[in-house]
């Protein structure tokens, strides 16, 4: 797979066309191309067969799609070519969003083959457009909490498996759940504190499996690792397309409109690696005899006096044996 991010940076430096509908491009696959706009935004050009039917354009916060667009592309050798394309453009300066955009659409385009008409490609493009709809919504969680979950995925032996059981469905109470074993990830911004907030249900283990709490300090450090860098670290483990799509989808949904958080905050990976601890929910004190009229109960639990467990003792659970430090 061609490294389009490096190609993108090269084209930004080269771009000299401010004239409308003229673009410097590089080949991606077949007649499909990649280029940059006059503003320096990344663009894909999907060659299509014009049949007189043009789907409506898409205008999102950071994504634009135009069908049946006639434009002139300038190849690396200087040759000009006029063609009809579906143009897909990201309009964001976030490096991590740019990488997501390039990775998603490059995989799609490399599998396209010959030209199709606009409506034949619209259905699949709409699926990827939906991915970026999450940038309209408020953030669902903290950057610190998301970083901790991504860190655990990055430390796994099989990231495809780990991503598959990560927020496995809309009803899951736990961060990782394979139906037999569950892991709830908790983070703190202090090295000397393991006080975490729980809902009452998060500490009740299912009768048919195990439940563990992963506790780690997530400490800001300008020389550390960002959300975007953790995503790239996971992606480079040759995860499959379904896992990659889910990874991007959940991250975008969690960060929402705070897309600058992809690259703005950095956390100390060494501290997290050295100080992560796991606890069996059986060893954590529970609230008992709660009247049925109460619901939505949350509380803080201080783990200072609770003994952590060794993962080696629980390797009969696939979820636990998949974690390697």
Kindly list the distances between the CA atom of residue 275 and the CA atoms of 94, 266, 267, 278, 288, in Å, as whole numbers in the listed order.
31, 17, 13, 10, 31
Q: How far is Cα 312 from Cα 317, in angstroms, rounded to an integer?
A: 10
- Mean pLDDT of all residues in the chain? 89
Tell me which of 215 and 29 has the higher pLDDT: 215
| 3-state DSSP helix/strand/coil % of the chain, to nearest 5 | 35, 30, 35
Q: How far is Cα 141 from Cα 253, in angstroms, rounded to an integer?
A: 9
Query: Do 91 and 98 form a contact (C-beta atoms < 8 A)?
Result: no
Q: How far is Cα 132 from Cα 255, in angstroms, rounded to an integer?
A: 11
With a cut of 90, say whether residue 94 has pLDDT above it. Answer: no
With a cut of 80, say whether residue 141 has pLDDT above it. Answer: no
- Per-residue pLDDT tens for 5-30? 888 888 888 776 556 678 888 888 88
pTM, two decimal places: 0.88
With a cut of 70, say whether residue 266 has pLDDT above it. Answer: yes
- Name the pLDDT band for 69 (thresholds 50, 70, 90): very high
Query: Do 113 and 237 form a contact (C-beta atoms < 8 A)?
Result: no
Task: List phi, psi (to 5°) of 142.
Answer: -85, 155
With a cut of 80, say whether residue 138 has pLDDT above it. Answer: no
Most confident of 125-129, 150-154, 199-203, 264-268: 150-154
Dihedral angle over CA of 278, 282, 286, 291, nearest 10: 130
Tell me which of 31 and 313 has the higher pLDDT: 313
Residue 140: the pLDDT is: 63
Query: Do 235 and 100 form a contact (C-beta atoms < 8 A)?
Result: no
Residue 262: the pLDDT is: 80
């Amino acid at each position: 797979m061609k490294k389009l991010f490096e190609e993108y940076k090269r084209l930004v430096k080269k771009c000299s066309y401010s004239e409308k509908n003229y673009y410097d491009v590089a080949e991606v696959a077949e007649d499909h191309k990649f280029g940059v706009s006059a503003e320096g935004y990344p663009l894909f050009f999907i060659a299509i067969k014009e049949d007189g039917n043009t789907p409506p354009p898409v205008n999102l916060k950071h994504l634009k799609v135009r069908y049946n667009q006639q434009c002139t592309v300038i190849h690396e050798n200087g040759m000009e070519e006029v063609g009809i394309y579906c143009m897909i453009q990201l309009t964001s300066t976030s490096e991590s969003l740019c990488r997501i955009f390039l990775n998603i659409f490059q995989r799609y385009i490399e599998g396209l083959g010959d030209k199709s008409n606009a409506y034949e490609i619209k259905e699949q493009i709409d699926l990827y457009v939906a991915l970026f709809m999450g940038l309209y919504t408020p953030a669902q969680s903290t950057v610190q909490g998301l970083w901790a979950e991504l860190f655990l995925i990055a430390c796994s032996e099989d990231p495809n498996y780990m991503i598959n059981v990560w927020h496995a469905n809309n009803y899951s109470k736990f961060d990782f759940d394979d139906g037999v074993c569950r892991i709830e990830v908790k983070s703190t911004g202090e090295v000397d504190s393991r006080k975490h907030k729980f809902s009452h249900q998060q500490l009740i283990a299912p009768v048919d499996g195990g439940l563990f709490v992963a506790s780690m300090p997530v400490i800001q450090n300008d020389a550390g690792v960002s959300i975007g860098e953790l995503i790239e670290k996971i992606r480079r483990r040759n995860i499959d397309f379904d896992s990659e799509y889910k990874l991007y989808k959940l991250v975008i949904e969690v960060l929402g409109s705070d897309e600058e958080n992809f690259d703005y905050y950095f956390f100390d990976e060494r501290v997290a690696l050295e100080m992560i601890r796991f606890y069996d929910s059986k060893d954590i004190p529970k609230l008992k005899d709660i009247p049925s009229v109460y619901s939505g109960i949350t509380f803080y639990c201080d783990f200072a006096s609770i003994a952590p467990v060794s993962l080696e003792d629980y390797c009969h659970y696939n979820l636990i044996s998949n974690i390697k430090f």
